[in-house]
């Protein structure tokens, strides 16, 4: 393999990219746009849940309880209602996700030291949000119940009992419990996989459609030289995208980067080379830009987004689907990114994932070399 020929092919590809604004826009602008859109729109944080309240009691005790809900960052009081009909309309129209009903005898039952029931009506159409919001409501009600109980004990002159369990919570790696802190690193992997495969999936297919492949076949250029020459320009553009994504994560989304930035870029380079080679394989097999584009989306975006563990925990998936995720290279890169970003760990912990990425890249480059033949058929 002669470096001069690789350089000539790379120069040709660079010229094509810079002369085609659409390719350049896809290479740089689209990843940044996806990062901004997904970074702000894709969130699993549940807060400011719209709440409708029907306070039949209208006492100091009921107002104190309601203030616990409205005073937290998890609930936002939408409106006070005066009937079940109004409460039902508020939930049906989506103006409220939850309805809190305080019975008329609420304060009297508390004063007489009897259980005081509350009714919580939840819109379960979004099961995940409803489950989390219900947990918040139960925690607020439980804390209020304990405070009322302790207040009654102190009023009687008794010693306030100690709770049998003293749970002291400490969150590691994501102190603020912000979903963007683990979504953004995973999103970098998904965007890199999709864009890299889409870019190179059109290279060889474009040569076939424009009739220039015959000219390349007639030259002394060997298959490895053609493959590496076509990968180099997109590799440089992809690494520039990685730099922009890291800077946006740091200065736009305030995602902490606790690990080695050098390790991050080395792993990104390995993953990017494999993704580019995978796109090249698709282009070689398809020989059509339209077919190559569609195949690239099916083989990159869907598995990387759903099966990589970026959003959906792999441990919660059925065993058969978990087995499939082992064949998704984005899974290992997402694990590497989250480990470097949030945990600050190195190869001592992530050596297995790094080795599998190296194996993926080597396999894709070897497959591209095997599939590309200097023949017209």
CATH of the domain at 145: 3.40.1710.10
Helices (H), 287-310: 289-296, 302-306
With beta carbons less than 8 A apart as the criterion, state whether 198 and 26 touch.
yes
Per-residue burial over 272-288, b = 16 or more CB atoms within 10 Å of its CB, e = otherwise: bbbbbbbbbbbbbbbeb
Same domain, 128 and 194: no
Same domain, 100 and 189: no
Same domain, 283 and 363: yes
Contacts with 127 (C-beta within 8 Å, 6 or more apart), sequence order: none
Structure tokens at 35: 């990062």
Task: End-to-end CA distance of the chain: give it in Å, rounded.
Answer: 24
Residue 376 lies in a domain: no
pLDDT of residue 351: 93
Burial-class residue 331 by CB neighbours within 10 Å (0-12, 13-18, 19+).
buried
With beta carbons less than 8 A apart as the criterion, state whether 197 and 296 touch.
yes
Same domain, 194 and 336: yes
- Give, in order, the Cα–Cα distances in Å from 2 to each of 229, 233, 301: 11, 17, 35
With beta carbons less than 8 A apart as the criterion, state whether 191 and 301 touch.
no
Same domain, 18 and 123: no
Count: domains in the chain: 2
Per-residue burial over 226-246, b = 16 or more CB atoms within 10 Å of its CB, e = otherwise: bbbbbbbbbbebbbebbeebb
Q: Which domain holds residue 92?
A: 49-155
Residue 194 lies in a domain: yes
What are the pLDDT tens digits along the chain (377 aa)?
677 777 887 887 778 777 777 767 777 777 888 888 877 877 777 888 999 999 999 999 999 999 999 888 889 998 899 999 999 999 988 889 999 999 999 989 888 888 888 999 999 888 888 888 899 999 999 888 888 887 777 777 666 666 677 677 787 887 777 778 888 888 888 888 877 777 777 676 666 666 666 666 667 777 777 778 878 888 888 888 889 889 988 888 888 889 999 999 999 999 999 988 888 888 778 777 777 778 888 888 788 888 888 878 888 889 999 999 999 999 999 999 999 998 989 899 999 999 999 999 999 989 888 877 755 45
Region at 47 (left for phi over 0; alpha for psi -120 to 50; beta for the rest): beta
Residue in the structure block whose two tokens are 């990843």: 31
- Give, in order, the Cα–Cα distances in Å from 1 to each of 63, 221, 250, 367, 373: 79, 9, 40, 17, 16
With beta carbons less than 8 A apart as the criterion, state whether 249 and 164 touch.
no
Same domain, 88 and 211: no
- Give, in order, the Cα–Cα distances in Å from 9 to each of 182, 197, 220, 275: 39, 19, 12, 20
Per-residue burial over 79-102, b = 16 or more CB atoms within 10 Å of its CB, e = otherwise: eebeeeeebeebbeeeebbbbbbb
With beta carbons less than 8 A apart as the criterion, state whether 196 and 275 touch.
yes
Same domain, 205 and 348: yes
Same domain, 362 and 224: yes
Same domain, 76 and 192: no
pTM: 0.80
DSSP β-ladder status, 49-55 and 98-102: parallel
Residue in the structure block whose two tokens are 């306030």: 160
308: number of Cβ within 10 Å? 23
pLDDT of residue 162: 67
Same domain, 28 and 68: no
pLDDT of residue 266: 94
Distance of CA 134 to the CA centre of its chain: 24
Residue 163 lies in a domain: no
Residue 268 lies in a domain: yes
Residue 171 lies in a domain: no
Tell me the torsion sign for CA atoms 99, 104, 108, 114: negative
Same domain, 280 and 142: no
- Separation between Cα atoms, residue 47 and residue 279, nearest integer Å: 40
- Separation between Cα atoms, residue 59 and residue 373, nearest integer Å: 83
Distance of CA 50 to the CA centre of its chain: 25
Same domain, 280 and 210: yes
Residue 116 lies in a domain: yes
67-74 long-range Cβ contacts below 8 angstroms, 24+ apart: 68/140, 68/143, 68/144, 69/100, 69/137, 69/140, 72/136, 72/140, 73/47, 73/48, 74/46, 74/47, 74/48, 74/49, 74/133, 74/136
Residue 172 lies in a domain: no
Residue 256 lies in a domain: yes
């Amino acid at each position: 393999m002669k470096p001069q020929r690789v350089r000539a092919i790379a120069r040709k590809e660079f010229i094509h990219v810079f002369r085609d604004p659409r390719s350049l826009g896809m290479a740089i602008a689209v990843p940044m746009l996806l990062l901004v859109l997904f970074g702000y729109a894709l969130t699993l944080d549940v807060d400011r849940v719209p709440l409708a309240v029907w306070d039949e009691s209208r006492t100091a005790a009921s107002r104190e309880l309601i203030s616990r809900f409205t005073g937290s960052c998890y609930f936002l009081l939408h409106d006070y209602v005066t009937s079940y009909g109004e409460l039902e309309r508020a939930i049906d129209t989506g103006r409220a996700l939850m309805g809190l009903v305080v019975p008329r005898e609420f304060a009297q039952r508390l004063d007489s030291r009897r259980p005081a029931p509350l009714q919580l009506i939840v819109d379960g159409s979004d099961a995940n949000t409803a489950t989390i919001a219900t947990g918040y409501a139960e925690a607020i009600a439980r804390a209020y119940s304990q405070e009322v109980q302790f207040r009654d004990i102190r009023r009687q002159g008794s010693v306030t009992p100690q709770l049998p369990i003293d749970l002291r919570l400490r969150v590691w790696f994501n102190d603020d419990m912000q979903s963007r802190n683990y979504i953004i690193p995973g999103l970098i992997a998904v965007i890199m996989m999709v864009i890299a495969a889409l870019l190179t999936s059109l290279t060889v297919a474009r040569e076939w459609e424009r009739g220039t492949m015959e000219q390349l076949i007639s030259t002394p250029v060997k298959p490895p030289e053609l493959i590496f020459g076509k990968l180099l320009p997109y590799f440089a553009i992809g690494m520039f995208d990685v730099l922009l994504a890291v800077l946006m994560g740091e200065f736009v989304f305030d995602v902490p980067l606790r690990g080695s930035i050098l390790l991050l870029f080395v792993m990104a380079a390995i993953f990017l080379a494999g993704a580019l080679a995978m796109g090249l394989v698709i282009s070689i097999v398809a020989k059509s830009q339209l077919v190559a584009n569609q195949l690239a989306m099916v083989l990159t975006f869907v598995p990387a987004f759903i099966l990589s563990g970026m959003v959906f925990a792999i441990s919660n998936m059925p065993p058969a689907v978990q087995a499939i995720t082992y064949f998704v290279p984005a899974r290992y890169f997402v694990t590497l990114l989250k480990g470097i970003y949030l945990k600050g760990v190195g190869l001592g912990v992530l050596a297995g994932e790094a080795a599998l990425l190296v194996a993926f890249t080597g396999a894709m480059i070897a497959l591209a070399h095997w599939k590309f033949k200097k023949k017209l058929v």
